[in-house]
């Protein structure tokens, strides 16, 4: 088992940052998982953790205030849009 930590934040101006877990062909934000543990609030960031199996693919989703998106997955893949990452995930079910 490994622990996935998600430091989540949304600026309200378009920027967002969170970790997600690949489940049934979709990247799901850690804070939306049923077995998530809320670890607290730190300088504008909400901190969550969840335990997953070692072979679970996780990803870091980042969007700047300018709308530039980047997704980096634990399997070494990366995408320049949230939509592209979700399209890839859909093929993994």
- In the three-class reduction of DSSP (H, G, I as helix; E, B as strand; rest coil), residue 10 is classed as strand
Residue among 90, 69, 88, 87 nearest 77 (CA): 88
Q: Give yes or no for a contact between 29 and 82, defined as CB atoms under 8 angstroms apart.
A: no
Q: What are phi and psi of 3, to 5 degrees?
A: -105, 130
The 10s digit of each residue's pLDDT in 47-68 is: 999 999 999 999 999 999 999 9
Is the Cβ–Cβ distance between 85 and 64 less than 8 Å?
A: no
Q: pTM of this prediction?
A: 0.93
Predicted local confidence at residue 12, as pLDDT: 79
Q: Is 86 helix (H, G, I), strand (E, B) or coil?
A: helix
Q: What is the pLDDT of residues 66-89, one digit of tens each?
A: 999 999 999 999 999 999 999 999
């Amino acid at each position: 088992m490994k622990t996935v930590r998600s430091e989540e934040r949304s600026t309200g101006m378009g920027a967002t940052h969170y970790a997600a877990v690949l489940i049934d062909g979709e990247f799901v934000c850690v804070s939306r998982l049923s077995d998530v543990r809320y670890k607290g609030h730190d300088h504008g960031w909400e901190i969550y953790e969840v335990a997953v199996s070692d072979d679970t693919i996780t990803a870091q989703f980042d969007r700047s205030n300018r709308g530039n998106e980047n997704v980096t997955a634990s399997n070494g893949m990366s995408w320049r849009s949230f939509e592209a990452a979700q399209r890839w995930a859909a093929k993994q079910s």
